[in-house]
Amino acid sequence: LAKQRGRDCVQLFDAGVELSLQAKQELLRRLAQALEAREFVLHYQPKVDMLQGRPIGVEALVRWQHPERGMLAPGEFLPTIEGSELEVELGEWVIRSALQQIDSWRALGLDLPVAVNVSARHLLRPGFVRSLRDALAQHPAIAPDRLEIEIIESTAITDMHSALEVLTACRALGVRLALDDFGTGYASLAYFRRLPVDLLKIDHSFVRDMLTDADDRAIVLSVVHLAQSFGREVIAEGVETMEHAQALIDIGCHLGQGFGIARPMPPTHIPGWMSWYTASADTDAPSFAPPP
Ligand code: C2E
Ligand code: MG
Ligand code: MG
Ligand code: MG
């Protein structure tokens, strides 16, 4: 199990410091340049079946490879681009890069489903589905269900009518859909029932404290039951320790993602990690990775 928590990103700003409007505009300008200069990269975090010790895919997570400051986490720059045109441009870049990555891994004999995070503004923008269809058409060898779109629960409820329409259209293309940070967005059950999502991702805040907090454990259990009742898959985010993995398996949640399994890593490390994880799989106990 990962004992040493080496972060894969550095921090650009002190947490909690609000940027001035001027600083924000400057950063936005710099971010637009960064996209031009190909300074954004995707790291990939494995998702596994903890019971079988089998990888099930990866999630693409964007980072900014800043020439002076190093690798910056999305929390450092996504809030700044929120609501701007750049948010959509970066989102389009993420989808295209993920598809290229699927092709590159395929060339190495690795058939790996990839999940991408899509923001509300991007998803609900006219033309999203057309652009997704075009991107898929450029990779005819990739089955559409190798791509999974993650939207946070609140995205689905901001503009329910449009969201439902777009998600249904994405589903019709054969792409898989996941509700991210599930449990934090208050989707009503009546609405949830109509959402064409394949997978619920239990937010890491509930998973983190489920061993010590009975309420959080109850929430995790309820989400697992909800998923099972509605025939959806469920995965726990934020699996940090062997104890978390065991507790999740005990309540019927076999899929997991978290630092205790693997940290997000550059795409070149993925094939090696996948072979290592598969080879070290022990059918009697959940498998965990050493620090990268
Ligand atoms: P998310 O989609 O819920 O992604 C999971 C986040 O949790 C990632 O942070 C990941 O590094 C972190 N994480 C993974 N395992 C653990 C764990 O065991 N414990 C804890 N405490 N955290 C864990 P990251 O990469 O900093 O991303 C943060 C958020 O930024 C993402 O949350 C997602 O909402 C957003 N994001 C990341 N990449 C993209 C992107 O390409 N597009 C959009 N629109 N949003 C993105
Ligand atoms: Mg996500
Ligand atoms: Mg999440
Ligand atoms: Mg999150």
Residue 104 has pLDDT above 50, yes or no: yes
3-state secondary structure of 174: coil
Residue 2 has pLDDT above 50, yes or no: no
- The closest residue, in CA terms, to atom 23 on ligand 1 is 238
Neighbouring C-alpha atoms within 13 Å toward the C-beta of 246:
6
pLDDT tens-digit map of 49-92: 999 999 999 999 999 999 999 999 999 999 999 989 999 999 99
Residue 165 has pLDDT above 60, yes or no: yes
The pLDDT confidence band at residue 14, using thresholds 50, 70 and 90, is low
Residue 153 near ligand 1, beta carbon < 6 Å: no
Residue 156 has pLDDT above 80, yes or no: no
Ligand 1 binding pocket mutation candidate from 42, 61, 206 (most atoms within 8 A of CB) = 61
Residue 47 near ligand 1, beta carbon < 6 Å: no
Strand-strand pairing, 147-152 and 114-117: parallel
> Average of pLDDT values for 6-10?
63
Residue 240 near ligand 1, beta carbon < 6 Å: yes
3-state secondary structure of 110: coil
Residue 73 near ligand 1, beta carbon < 6 Å: yes
* Ligand showing the shortest atom-to-Cα distance for residue 205: 1
Compute the distance from residue 106 Cα to the ligand 3 centre, in Å: 26
10: which strand partners?
A: 72
Compute the distance from residue 218 Cα to the ligand 1 centre, in Å: 24
CB 179 within 8 A of CB 151: yes
pTM for the model stands at: 0.92
Residue 228 has pLDDT above 60, yes or no: yes
Compute the distance from residue 95 Cα to the ligand 3 centre, in Å: 17
pLDDT tens-digit map of 193-211: 889 999 999 999 999 999 9
Strand ranges for the chain from DSSP E: 40-49, 54-66, 70-72, 114-117, 147-152, 176-182, 199-202, 233-236, 255-256
Compute the distance from residue 196 Cα to the ligand 2 centre, in Å: 17
62: which strand partners?
A: 42
Strand ranges for 8-53 from DSSP E: 40-49
Residue 157 has pLDDT above 80, yes or no: no
pLDDT tens-digit map of 31-44: 999 999 999 999 99
Q: Tell me which residue has tokens 């039951």.
A: 225
The pLDDT confidence band at residue 1, using thresholds 50, 70 and 90, is very low
179: which strand partners?
A: 151, 200
End-to-end Cα, the chain, rounded Å: 11
3-state secondary structure of 265: strand
Residue 120 has pLDDT above 80, yes or no: yes
Residue 74 near ligand 1, beta carbon < 6 Å: yes
Average model confidence (pLDDT) across the chain:
90
- Atom number of ligand 1 nearest to Cα 240: 18
Instruction: Report yes or no for ipTM above 0.90.
Output: yes
- The number of residues making up the chain comes to 292
Residue 176 has pLDDT above 50, yes or no: yes
Percent of the chain past pLDDT 90, that is, above it, reads 78
- The closest residue, in CA terms, to atom 38 on ligand 1 is 61
Residue 79 near ligand 1, beta carbon < 6 Å: no
Per-residue CA distances from 172 to 114, 165, 180, 197, 240 (Å) = 18, 11, 20, 12, 35
The contacts of residue 282 (CB under 8 Å, 6+ apart) are 53
CB 46 within 8 A of CB 110: no
114: which strand partners?
A: 58, 147
- The closest residue, in CA terms, to atom 5 on ligand 1 is 237
> Average of pLDDT values for 149-175?
90
Per-residue CA distances from 288 to 51, 56, 109, 237 (Å) = 11, 15, 24, 15
- The closest residue, in CA terms, to atom 34 on ligand 1 is 117
Fill in the amino acid letter for 6. G
Per-residue CA distances from 9 to 144, 245, 258 (Å) = 31, 25, 16
Instruction: Give CA–CA dist 56/280, Å, rounded.
Output: 15
The pLDDT, as a whole number, for residue 183 is 85
Any idea what the Cα angle at residue 16 is, between residues 12 and 18, rounded to 5°? 80
Fill in the amino acid letter for 93. W
Q: Tell me which residue has tokens 């609501």.
A: 83
